[in-house]
Amino acid sequence: MDAAPLPSSPTSALAVVRAVADLRATVRDWKRQGFSVGMVPTMGALHEGHLTLVREAARHADRVIASNFVNPTQFAAHEDLGKYPRQQEEDARLLAGAGCHLMFAPSVEEMYPDGFATSIAMTGPALGLEGDFRPQMFGGVALVVTKLFNQVQPDVAVFGEKDYQQLLVIRRFVRDLDLPIEIVGAPTQRDGWGLALSSRNAYLGETDLAAARQLNGILAQAAAEAASGRPLPGVEREAYAAILKAGFERVDYVAIRRADDLGVFRNDVVDAPARILTAAWLDKTRLIDNMAV
């Protein structure tokens, strides 16, 4: 079996599995013993945000699997697939410390063998916002997460609210495809300045980091104004300008949308649970963030 034991950690022993067949054998064995299984899909380069998801999964299930796979189908040709940070040994050490039982780290060939010919197209929550600027992304996410869910067959899976639109997309296809998996959303983890933890923060130099750390305050201010009943176009325009003033070079969007389906507010004021979402660029690094209004 292709499961290399890693150096033991104070809190748990972690197996690293690279083949789907070995993954299935382990899960089968766990299920035979009556264990429930939780899953945290990741692309590696793990930080405290991911570890919080692992701990959350452990609250819901007896055994926790984290996948570690930089998924090529969710990147467009011009995006950062090649330079996306990869550090699997360090990831395994972190996962062991967080109480994860197994890291599934397949190769691209294992996930997408020669002749792979299937894609998933989505509408609904996949349209607009990220869907406008990264048209490749949600089809690729739906494809890889569906594959991971079929490979692991977890009882529960945990995703961060940091990728809020992704969370809605995943909830949608899980319902649409009748996958018997509970999807749990976990709050965004932030650093001491309020910057949402992200693997892409590793790209930021000192000046860009200082700018990035203003994003949270700008969103919080806009959220408070929207909640007080101010018309949304003005609030969004001011937030857009404030993000540029903070030092970002480009803003893809700042939008206040319905929290349940990311639909627009027809009357331009918040009259139901809402979310403010943004994506903006510091040099070649694209950051996203969002919060409840």
* Residue 182: closest CA among 52, 275, 56: 56
Please report whether residue 42 would count as binding ligand PAF according to CB under 6 A.
yes
Helix orientation angle between 20-32 and 137-152, rounded to the nearest 10 degrees? 50
Q: Which of 155, 163, 225, 236 binds ligand PAF (CB under 6 A)?
A: 163
Tokens describing residue 248: 């970002």
* Residue 101: closest CA among 207, 16, 10: 16
CB closer to ligand PAF out of 26 and 198:
198
Pick the stretch among 141-149, 222-230, 252-260, 277-285 that binds ligand PAF (CB under 6 A). 141-149
Please report whether residue 64 would count as binding ligand PAF according to CB under 6 A.
no
Helix orientation angle between 232-245 and 215-227, rounded to the nearest 10 degrees? 170
Please report whether residue 201 would count as binding ligand PAF according to CB under 6 A.
no
CB closer to ligand PAF out of 166 and 285:
166
47, 50, 60, 78: the catalytic one is 50
How far is Cα 255 from Cα 134, in angstroms, rounded to an integer?
16
Q: What are phi and psi of 185, to 5 degrees?
A: -100, 135
Query: How many residues sit in the footprint of ligand PAF (CB under 6 A)?
Result: 10
Tokens describing residue 91: 């990831």
Pick the stretch among 20-28, 41-49, 181-189, 277-285 that binds ligand PAF (CB under 6 A). 41-49
Least separation in angstroms between CB 162 and ligand PAF: 8
Least separation in angstroms between CB 79 and ligand PAF: 12
Q: Which of 43, 95, 152, 239 binds ligand PAF (CB under 6 A)?
A: 43
Least separation in angstroms between CB 199 and ligand PAF: 8
CB closer to ligand PAF out of 167 and 222:
167
User: At a CB cut-off of 8 Å and minimum separation 6, what does 71 contact?
Assistant: 43, 111, 140, 141, 144
Please report whether residue 71 would count as binding ligand PAF according to CB under 6 A.
yes
Pick the stretch among 4-12, 38-46, 213-221, 253-261 that binds ligand PAF (CB under 6 A). 38-46
Q: Is 50 known to be catalytic? A: yes
Least separation in angstroms between CB 240 and ligand PAF: 25
Pick the stretch among 36-44, 105-113, 224-232, 240-248 that binds ligand PAF (CB under 6 A). 36-44
Least separation in angstroms between CB 285 and ligand PAF: 16
Please report whether residue 56 would count as binding ligand PAF according to CB under 6 A.
no
User: At a CB cut-off of 8 Å and minimum separation 6, what does 279 contact?
Assistant: 129, 130, 133, 251, 252, 253, 286, 287, 288
Q: How many CB atoms neighbour CB 245 within 10 A?
A: 11
Please report whether residue 145 would count as binding ligand PAF according to CB under 6 A.
yes
C-beta separation of 149 from 176 below 8 A? no
* Residues identified as active-site: 50
Contacts with ligand PAF, residue ranges (CB under 6 A): 41-43, 71, 74, 141, 144-145, 163, 166
